[in-house]
Amino acid sequence: MTPRERVDRALAGRDVDRTPFTFWYHFGLEKEPGERHAAATLDFHRKFSTDLVKVMSDYPYPKPAGAWYELAEERNPFPEQIRALERIRDGLGGKAHFIETIFNPWNVAEKLSSKEAVQQLKQERPQALLDALEVIARSEANHARRALEAGASGIFLAIANADASVLSREDYRKFSEPFDKMVLEAAREAPLNTLHLHGTQVYLDMFYTGWPAAVFHYDAHGTGVPIGEVRKRFTGTIMGGLDHNRIRSLSEPEIREQWQSAAAQAGRKFILAPGCSAPNESTDEELMRVVRVVTGSNRS
């Protein structure tokens, strides 16, 4: 099967020749042109034969001239990223799906200021924060639509604040959920929208239903929530199963055990992946262990 066929069959819950897999890390190319970013992404995919290309998105959101929260809607907030997506589309030639990473509006606000500044604004001027988050969400929705026009099969919405260490459930519902849904709604018709729920104290139950996402991605090892528990509540495709914190040191038998355990719990609608990015300093040999185990190859 081609990578695209393998992922399509997993999404549909059909038999596959082997479990589709993917992994990724940050290339640190946010100061380089989109062409360089695209080349790195395609090289990574070809080197490791990943079945799903998860495109990193590290270009910064445009900063305003005044206070960080005094924002205007951006029609094309990440132009270099769009250029990269177009080149990735051309390079893949339809043989593999690729999905565009979008960090949720709360995370963008933190990057425009700091984690402390966002929390301070929430306490002192909550409406100003809500207004800023809405503008970011509208801008990111514009980007999501552009990403699909560039050929992406969906967006990978990274949510790191639906976590008890960041916000209460009530505060997430007020300050993030409406804006996260606004971004995802812009890509509603895409087949591979993915919810990435980052953290170890995530409110997973808030995301099982009501979101236009076919794929649920989280850190089973860090949260301590088995994939089998998620399967009881989520009917779509589950992505995860590998311990991203240990991926550099996992032996091939350990990789095989994590893979087979996760696949048995998830069933046919499953894509093997780490619970988050692999460490940026991961070596080719460390990542190639995953490739050898899953594909049965002898590559080095």
Q: How far apart are CA 245 and CA 279, in angstroms?
A: 8
What's residue 124's pLDDT? 98
- Condensed to tens digits (0 to 9), the pLDDT of residues 241-287 reads 999 999 999 999 999 999 999 999 999 999 999 999 999 999 999 99
Give the percent of the chain with pLDDT over 70: 99
The arrangement of strands across the sheet holding 237-242 comes to 52-55, 97-103, 155-159, 194-197, 215-218, 237-242, 270-274
The pLDDT of 103-113, averaged and rounded, is 98
> Residues 81, 146: contact at Cβ < 8 Å?
no
This prediction has a pTM of 0.97
Radius of gyration of the chain (CA): 19
> Residues 278, 244: contact at Cβ < 8 Å?
yes
What's residue 300's pLDDT? 64
Give the percent of the chain with pLDDT over 90: 98
pLDDT at position 63 over 90: yes
Band (48; pLDDT cuts 50, 70, 90): very high
Domain positions in the chain are: 3-295
> Residues 156, 99: contact at Cβ < 8 Å?
yes
95 to each of 7, 66, 141, how far by Cα in Å?
Answer: 11, 45, 26
Return the residue matching tokens 């998860």: 54
106 to each of 119, 121, 127, how far by Cα in Å?
Answer: 10, 12, 14
Beta strands in the chain (DSSP E): 52-55, 97-103, 155-159, 194-197, 215-218, 237-242, 270-274
**Whether domain 3-295 has CATH 3.20.20.210:** yes
pLDDT at position 52 over 90: yes
Band (297; pLDDT cuts 50, 70, 90): confident
- Condensed to tens digits (0 to 9), the pLDDT of residues 19-37 reads 999 999 999 999 999 999 9
3-state secondary structure 50-102: CCEEEECCCCCCCCCCCCCCCCCCCCCCCHHHHHHHHHHHHHHCCCCEEEEEE
Return the residue matching tokens 């509006």: 105
Q: How far apart are CA 105 and CA 142, in angstroms?
A: 13
What's residue 103's pLDDT? 98
> Residues 211, 172: contact at Cβ < 8 Å?
no
What's residue 298's pLDDT? 74
The pLDDT of 1-16, averaged and rounded, is 97
